[in-house]
């Protein structure tokens, strides 16, 4: 009986239909026919077929995408009647055709699409079963398609987003081959982490930056495992409206990554190969004076001796080379589509002996099991291997750049005949930079699996359901080895091995019911639920005093060993209701509940809401009869939303934790320094945004404008406690923070002819971040050497340290010996706010020129009005180390001896303007159509990345940040500068 049940899908369908009839009470079974819809989609300007266009029956999941030749074909079982056939494409205006279905089952319609710079008719995914037209949304969503992600010479997904999205500050923290990336959407909103939620084809991704071995702030984040060539589109949802659908994990926004899928038609192969060259963009000034002090510590002893100076930058910087190959095949038949790809990347860094390799394999299969059920299976495997050299010196005192800033550069760093490297840091134990790159062996290896199983069911003409089970698992293993007999503080050798296993899955079920209440009024109701689980296991061991030759930690004296296991679960559900009136006025609202195992039972479940309105006023008759010929499009929108920061409290931090110890040979526990707080509550964020989308001159100019205001209450602070409490600190929900800003996007087509097109895009974002309450306290952010602070009334992470004593005109006051002195505030403090690492604004200017088969693209990125603390210069310019250019000025008599040493305690000196404009991307390509039989297209490209930087920063690069993804920003201590990259590539389609 059971086999008969499943062999007759019509019976199964009727059973499911009957079930939902009982639930919704609005469905009826009607006679249906099998209809086949076919046609071709072309571009209005070029008459070229457009691939990837969505064609579907309105208010249903029945539809398909066009293939490489612009053809679409799909079948649908429908009752006879009148329906709307909708055509949607990125950057084109949608079209809707009313069709009447009867006895004729073959339905053919061709469409010609007109360009739409505002992409108002683009279908975006906002957590619902059915994609939503952007015109219906009250909040702003930014999209980047595959074309804008290719030919960028970037090796990471988030790196390719730089300058392409308003409201998104994308920073490459390190120039290492797999250096970490930070993405900040509409400013920092928490002290517990500000990175957005990443979703790959419905799978919630882990994007941690695990520093399993200390390589100094340049740790990879796990998006480095994703191959950009597999990506079809990226959508970014900013603000609290995102978490009302995706849950409080999306408190900092959502980055949705959609990968490529197969299309109906013959197999389509794509092969790409490229070579890369990475080089240092500029050197920093160093001490070139052919003199050295006989006694560097006595300011009155000016006796010098002749020396030879060495440019130690040549010892660890070098030109790196890379190669990348990718092959994919896609296609499909009537009921199944597939996409399979594989790629290999090998990319050397500009630090000698650094390298990043990545192998990717992906397969995606979409099966139309029945005319009402679509099954999608997706499998991704990645293996990432990096060879690293430690830099940065945040936690450890070894490394190449770390050694450079502490070194006296009058010492030849080369090894002697026995291969022994000399000590170059004379006063404190630091590594000879030449030895670090030649003898140190640090590296990470990651094996990762991302897979999903998805069901899309159209239960009736009105009711659809979607279920996805997504899995993300990786093992990251890191090892570090410093041999015996070296110049680092670990002269007897050092070894560390550390592993992390991250397992997580999400199980999501969504139901959508769409109905036409009247001819003008439509209703969409969405109900969804999710359960998410994550378990992180870490284990590590490190040792010194190694046995010669042996590289494992077990052979030495154990300094540290540990193991942690952290399970975490999150659950939630939402209901969203949307109404549309005459396809021009839309209202929607949602309520969501979330729970997190990190909080106590009384605080873990929270309720949040959102609402939005959108009005396409330009589609009113009075508008079209008036200024519609010039001012073609105007959409007014507004949104309000709430969310909660369920990730701000670390797991088990609500408890007072204990550490194991030993007492007289017996097991014991020692109470920790942090007092637990079971009453700690999730942070709460409320955001309001409003804006407009406008189009002029027949779509030749498009403008998007958004203003937002965000307030965070119950900000979790690790408050310092009085000594009488017996503990050092406790997490408390007492802080407040706000962000205010605006986003502007302008797209234009200044010139468009049959042979030549000029497209222009510019973005502008400003954000004002302010901490409005920290319960009367101020404190330094961890990992900043007590430089970045949280202070009430200031932006998050401002620099707060010693400052110059100045006269009424602002001139530095010198003492009787000609040395600067430290100033005092009115209340007698020697410290004040001396800089802000948060930019006033950032933006981009992108010009794209196409002439016949040639294409030229230039992107300029600007980040303005932010400060950088140059820790490198603070050490280099101190006479006790001697490698900086200002020490040379002292030796030549242009500055008093020891002037840099006097400045070392006045931190204001090392706060520099980090504002920059960069030529981020420059690409030139030439496309040859059907050059030979069986080859559809060959594309040759030459790309440059980070070619020029216009800035006044004295260091290597103002953009890097040793603080990584934390709230410590504008912090340059041993960070690897971002390289200038050249890439030559060949792409073939056949």
pLDDT at residue 668 tops 90:
no
Closest CA to 324 of 144, 174, 158, 151: 151
Closest CA to 243 of 200, 319, 189: 189
Helix (H/G/I), strand (E/B), else coil: 769:
strand
The backbone region for 652, taken as left when phi is positive above 0, alpha when psi lies in -120 to 50, beta otherwise, is left
pLDDT of residue 554: 84
Structure tokens at 58: 């309105």
pLDDT at residue 23 tops 50:
no
In this structure, the strands spanning 521-544 and 494-516 are antiparallel
For 767-808, write each residue's pLDDT tens digit. Answer: 999 999 988 778 888 888 899 999 999 999 999 999 999 999
CA distance 266 to 990: 10
E-state strands within 788-870? 788-790, 798-802, 831-835, 841-851, 854-864, 867-870
The residue count of the chain comes to 990
Report how far apart, in Å, the C-alpha atoms of 29 and of each of 79, 176, 284, 527, 813 are.
10, 62, 76, 23, 89
For 386-409, write each residue's pLDDT tens digit. Answer: 999 988 667 778 889 999 999 999
CA distance 918 to 861: 5
Report how far apart, in Å, the C-alpha atoms of 736 and of each of 170, 241, 717, 771 are.
25, 20, 10, 6
pLDDT at residue 25 tops 50:
no
Average pLDDT for residues 266-278, to the nearest whole number? Answer: 94
pTM metric for this prediction: 0.88
Helix (H) or strand (E) holding 478: strand 463-482
Identify the residue whose tokens are 């000029």: 758
- pLDDT band for position 22 (cuts 50, 70, 90): very low
Helix (H/G/I), strand (E/B), else coil: 960:
coil
DSSP per-residue string spanning 417-472: TTSPPPP--SSS----HHHHHHH-EEEEEEEEEEEEEEEEEE-SSSEEEEEEEEEE
Helices (H), 578-629: 621-624
Closest CA to 13 of 77, 84, 80, 106: 77
Higher pLDDT, 669 or 838: 838
Higher pLDDT, 825 or 645: 825
CB-neighbour burial class of residue 569 (10 A; exposed 0-12, middle 13-18, buried 19+): middle
Burial 551-568 (b: 16+ CB within 10 A, else e): bebeebeeeeeeeeeeeb
Identify the residue whose tokens are 């981009």: 844
CA distance 988 to 990: 7
The residues, any chain, with a CB within 8 Å of residue 508's CB and separated by 6 or more, are 202, 466, 467, 468, 470, 528, 529, 530
Domains detected in the chain? 25-115 (2.60.40.1120), 159-280+317-399+440-640+689-797+836-866+914-989 (2.40.170.20)
pLDDT of residue 94: 78
For 214-266, write each residue's pLDDT tens digit. Answer: 887 667 889 999 999 999 999 898 876 666 567 777 788 889 999 999 888 88
- pLDDT band for position 68 (cuts 50, 70, 90): confident
Identify the residue whose tokens are 């975006």: 124
Helices (H), 263-394: 313-316
List 388's β-bridge partners, or say none: 442
For 406-433, write each residue's pLDDT tens digit. Answer: 999 999 999 999 999 999 998 888 999 9
For 826-876, write each residue's pLDDT tens digit. Answer: 999 999 999 999 999 999 999 999 999 999 999 999 999 999 999 999 999
Residue 629 burial (CB count, 10 A): 10
Q: Cβ distance 559 to 544 under 8 Å?
A: yes
User: For the ranges 67-76, 179-188, 239-248, which has the lowest average pLDDT?
Assistant: 239-248
CA angle 128/133/136 to nearest 5° reads 95
List 981's β-bridge partners, or say none: 278, 945
Q: DSSP assignment, residue 487?
A: S
Average pLDDT for residues 969-990, to the nearest whole number? Answer: 94
Structure tokens at 347: 């990319």
pLDDT of residue 241: 65
DSSP per-residue string spanning 547-577: PTT--SGGGSEEEEEEEEEEEEEEEEEEEEE
Q: Cβ distance 676 to 668 under 8 Å?
A: no
- pLDDT band for position 286 (cuts 50, 70, 90): very high
pLDDT of residue 242: 67
């Amino acid at each position: 009986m059971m086999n008969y049940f499943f062999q007759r899908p019509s019976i199964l369908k009727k059973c499911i239909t009957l079930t939902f009839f009982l639930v919704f009470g609005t469905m009826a079974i009607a006679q249906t026919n099998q209809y086949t819809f076919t046609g071709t989609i072309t571009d209005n300007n070029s008459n070229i077929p457009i691939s990837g266009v969505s064609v579907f029956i309105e208010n249903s999941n029945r539809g398909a995408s066009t293939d490489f030749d612009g053809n679409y074909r799909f079948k649908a079982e429908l009752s006879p009647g009148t329906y709307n056939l909708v055509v949607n494409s990125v950057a084109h205006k949608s079209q809707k055709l009313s069709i009447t279905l009867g006895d004729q089952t073959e339905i053919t319609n061709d469409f010609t699409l007109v360009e739409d710079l505002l992409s108002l008719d683009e279908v975006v995914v906002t957590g619902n079963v059915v994609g939503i037209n952007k015109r219906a949304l009250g909040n702003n969503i930014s999209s980047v398609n595959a074309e804008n992600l290719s030919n960028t010479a970037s090796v990471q997904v988030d790196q390719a987003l730089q300058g392409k999205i308003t409201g998104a500050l994308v920073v490459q923290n390190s120039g290492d081959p797999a250096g970490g990336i930070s993405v900040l959407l509409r400013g920092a909103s928490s002290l517990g982490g500000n990175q957005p939620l990443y979703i790959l084809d419905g799978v919630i991704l882990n994007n941690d930056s695990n520093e399993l071995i200390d390589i100094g702030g340049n740790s990879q984040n796990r998006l480095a495992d994703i191959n950009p060539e597999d990506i079809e589109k990226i959508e970014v949802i900013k603000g609290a409206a995102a978490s009302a659908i995706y849950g409080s994990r999306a408190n900092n926004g959502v980055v949705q990554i959609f990968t490529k899928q197969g299309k109906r038609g013959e197999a389509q192969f794509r092969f790409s190969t490229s070579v890369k060259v990475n080089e240092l963009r500029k050197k920093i000034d160093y001490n070139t004076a052919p003199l050295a002090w006989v006694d560097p510590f006595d300011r009155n002893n000016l006796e010098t001796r002749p020396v030879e100076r060495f440019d130690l930058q040549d010892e660890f910087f070098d030109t790196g080379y890379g190669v990348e190959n990718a092959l994919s095949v896609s296609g499909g038949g009537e009921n199944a589509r597939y996409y399979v790809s594989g790629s290999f990347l090998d990319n050397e860094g500009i630090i000698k002996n650094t390298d990043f390799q990545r192998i990717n394999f992906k397969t995606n299969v979409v099966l139309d099991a029945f005319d009402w059920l679509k099954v999608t299976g997706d499998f991704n495997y990645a293996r990432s291997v990096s060879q690293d050299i430690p830099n940065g010196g945040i936690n450890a005192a070894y490394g190449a750049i770390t050694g450079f800033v502490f070194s006296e550069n009058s010492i030849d760093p080369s090894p002697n005949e026995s291969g022994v490297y000399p000590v170059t840091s004379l006063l404190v134990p630091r590594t000879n930079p030449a030895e670090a790159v030649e003898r140190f062996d640090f590296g990470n290896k990651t094996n990762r699996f991302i897979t999903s199983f998805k069901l899309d069911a159209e239960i009736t003409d009105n009711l659809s359901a979607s279920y996805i089970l997504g899995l993300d698992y990786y093992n990251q293993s890191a090892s570090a080895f410093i041999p015996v007999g070296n110049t680092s503080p670990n002269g007897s050798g050092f070894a560390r091995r550390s592993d992390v296993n991250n397992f997580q899955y999400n199980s999501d079920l969504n139901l959508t019911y769409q109905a036409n209440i009247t001819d003008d009024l439509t209703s969409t109701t969405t109900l969804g639920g999710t359960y998410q689980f994550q378990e992180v296991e870490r284990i590590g061991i490190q040792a010194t005093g190694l046995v010669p030759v042996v590289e494992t930690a077990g052979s030495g004296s154990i300094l540290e060993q540990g193991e942690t296991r952290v399970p975490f679960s999150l659950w939630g559900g939402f209901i969203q209701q949307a109404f549309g009136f005459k396809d021009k006025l839309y209202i929607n609202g949602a309520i969501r509940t979330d729970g997190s195992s990190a909080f106590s039972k009384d605080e873990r479940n929270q309720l949040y809401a959102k609402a939005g309105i959108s009005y396409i006023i330009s589609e009113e008759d009075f508008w079209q009869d008036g200024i519609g010929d010039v001012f073609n499009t105007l959409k007014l929108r507004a949104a309000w939303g709430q969310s909660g920061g369920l990730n701000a409290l670390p797991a088990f931090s609500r408890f007072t934790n204990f550490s194991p110890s030993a007492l007289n040979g017996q097991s014991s526990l020692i109470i920790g320094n942090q007092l637990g707080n079971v009453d700690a509550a999730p942070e709460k964020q409320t955001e309001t945004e409003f804006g407009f989308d406008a189009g002029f001159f027949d779509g030749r100019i498009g403008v998007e404008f958004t203003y937002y205001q965000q307030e965070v209450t119950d900000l979790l602070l690790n408050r310092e406690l009085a000594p009488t409490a017996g503990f050092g600190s406790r997490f408390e929900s007492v802080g407040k923070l706000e962000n205010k800003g605006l986003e502007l996007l302008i797209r234009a087509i200044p010139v468009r002819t049959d042979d030549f097109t000029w497209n222009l895009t510019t973005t502008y974002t400003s954000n004002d971040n302010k901490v409005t309450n920290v319960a009367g306290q101020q404190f330094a952010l961890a990992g900043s050497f007590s430089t970045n602070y949280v202070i009430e009334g200031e932006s998050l992470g401002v620099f707060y340290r010693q400052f110059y004593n100045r006269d009424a005109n602002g001139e530095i006051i010198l003492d009787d010996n000609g040395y600067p002195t430290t100033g005092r505030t009115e209340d007698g403090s020697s410290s004040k706010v001396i800089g802000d690492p948060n930019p006033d604004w950032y933006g981009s200017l992108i010009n794209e020129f196409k002439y016949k088969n040639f294409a030229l693209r230039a992107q300029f990125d600007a980040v303005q009005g932010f400060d950088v603390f140059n820790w490198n210069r603070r050490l280099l310019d101190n006479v006790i180390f001697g490698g900086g250019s200002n020490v040379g000025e002292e030796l030549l008599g242009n500055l008093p001896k020891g002037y840099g040493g006097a400045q070392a305690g006045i931190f204001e000196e090392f706060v520099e303007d980090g504002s920059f404009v960069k030529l981020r991307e420059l690409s030139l390509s030439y496309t040859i159509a059907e050059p030979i039989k069986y080859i559809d297209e060959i594309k040759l490209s030459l790309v440059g990345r980070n070619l020029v930087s216009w800035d006044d920063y004295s260091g290597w690069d103002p953009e890097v940040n040793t603080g990584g993804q934390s709230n410590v920003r504008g912090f340059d201590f041993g960070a690897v500068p971002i390289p200038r990259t050249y890439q030559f590539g060949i792409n073939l389609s056949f």
